[in-house]
Each structure stands twice: as structure tokens, then as C-alpha cells.
A and B are shown apart, each in its own frame.
Chain A
């Protein structure tokens, strides 16, 4: 069965960096686009970024553009999110999620999600 397991969250000071990981199993990871979605405390879901199956295309939400970088290692079946210049408003549970579209065909919805990892940005 499909499993997505996030890790790397924690407490970090404003302006610092953090890298999140998402270990994938149960499907051919290299065939699918992958997303990061976050949820701040008491708020709704916010899409963060997407990466294509081969890592050649990436899109970002406006609130993280220029600060966050999505990447993947298809040999390790792992998705990453590098968070730089962190702000208190980046405090959230970060979820990785699978796009059902294979190859270059994003469909921009999410058929499987991980349990999330909490990032807290605070001095």
C-alpha cells in the first residue's frame, strides 16, 4: 500500500533553515509528481509546491516563492522541501502528497497524503 512518511520538522528560529523529507513506498515514485501542502494552526490547507516526476518542473505558492525549494531523489524514493529564511507565519504541519497523474501529466489533486511533520518558527 502507498505510504508517505514525513520527517525533519522541529522548532527553528526566524531566519534559519530546515529541510523536510518525505519517504515514499508502495508505488513507483519516479512516475509521479509530488506536492507539499501545509496547515498552519487553526487555519485551512495551503498548497506549497509541486515537482514533476523527473524533477524538471517545479511550481511554488506565492507565500514561499524564493524561500522554499522542492526537490526529489528518485533513487532514494524521497521528496524534499528546503525551507530558508523562515518566518513565524511558516509555522504549520507540512504534508507531502502524491499527484495521481503519471509522467508529465499533473492533475493537481492529491490521492495519498502523509501524516505530516510540524514546523514551529519561534525565537
Chain B
């Protein structure tokens, strides 16, 4: 059982938009920045979003992040087949640990 709650899966057609939610509490998301990662099995995870809504260099603006209260959202527009992956949110928790969501599998139909 993960501390942060994500939907197990989302899907959309190529070119469409999808959002992935991440729900937490005042112990984590409510008082800390959220980051998002893309993970293809067998590869190194990749940072997509940090500090709620900032993109590292090289990450296209098709990826966006937002936070409101104790929830955060990752948005992906212009979906491509190469976006099929697992997506994780993460943040610091007052229990003195980094916590992640359980991951969301994105399928591009």
C-alpha cells in the first residue's frame, strides 16, 4: 500500500491528452514539492517534473505538472506511442522519508 495514491492505469489515443492524479496528505504533498518520473521496464527512471511544475531541460512541454492542496496532477498532451510507460509521483514525507505513488501504467491505444 503506497503512501501516495495513483490510478493503476490510464489510456488514451495517440494525439490526445491524458492526466494522472496523485493524492496524498498534509504530511507529504500538502507541504512539499512533488516530482514525477517516467519508467520503462528495464531502463533507468527519468525525471519529468520537479517542484510541482518545472521541467528539466530536454523534457518537452507536452509534459506538465500541477499541485493543489494535497493532490498533484501530471498532464501529457499530444500522446505518442513512445509515451507508453509507468509514471510515478514522489515527494518528501514528515516521517523523514521519500514516498512514491504506486505507479500508473499509461497505454496509448
Write the residues of chain A forming the contact surface with B, with a CB cutoff of 8 angstroms: 4, 35, 37, 44-47, 50, 59-62, 95, 97, 100, 107-116
Whether A113 pairs with B45 at a CB distance below 8 angstroms is yes
Give chain A's interface secondary structure class.
strand
Is A47 a contact of B100 with CB atoms below 8 Å?
yes
Q: Are B90 and A45 in contact (CB under 8 A)?
A: yes
Asked whether, in the complex, the Cβ of A59 is within 8 Å of the Cβ of B96, the reply is: yes
- Assess whether B92 is in contact with A108, with CB atoms less than 8 Å apart: yes
A59 close to B97 (CB less than 8 A) = yes
Inter-chain residue pair count (beta carbon < 8 A) = 66
On chain B, the residues within 8 Å of A59 by CB distance are 96-97
Given A107-B51, A110-B35, A114-B44, output 7 extra A-B contacts at Cβ < 8 Å. Answer: A37-B45, A44-B101, A45-B37, A45-B90, A47-B97, A110-B45, A112-B47
With a cutoff of 8 Å between Cβ atoms, the chain B residues found around residue A112 in the complex are 44, 47
Distance in angstroms between the alpha carbons of A113 and B38 in the assembled complex: 11
Interface flag for B39 (CB, 8 Å): yes
Nearest 4 Cβ contacts at the A-B interface: A109-B35, A47-B98, A113-B44, A44-B103
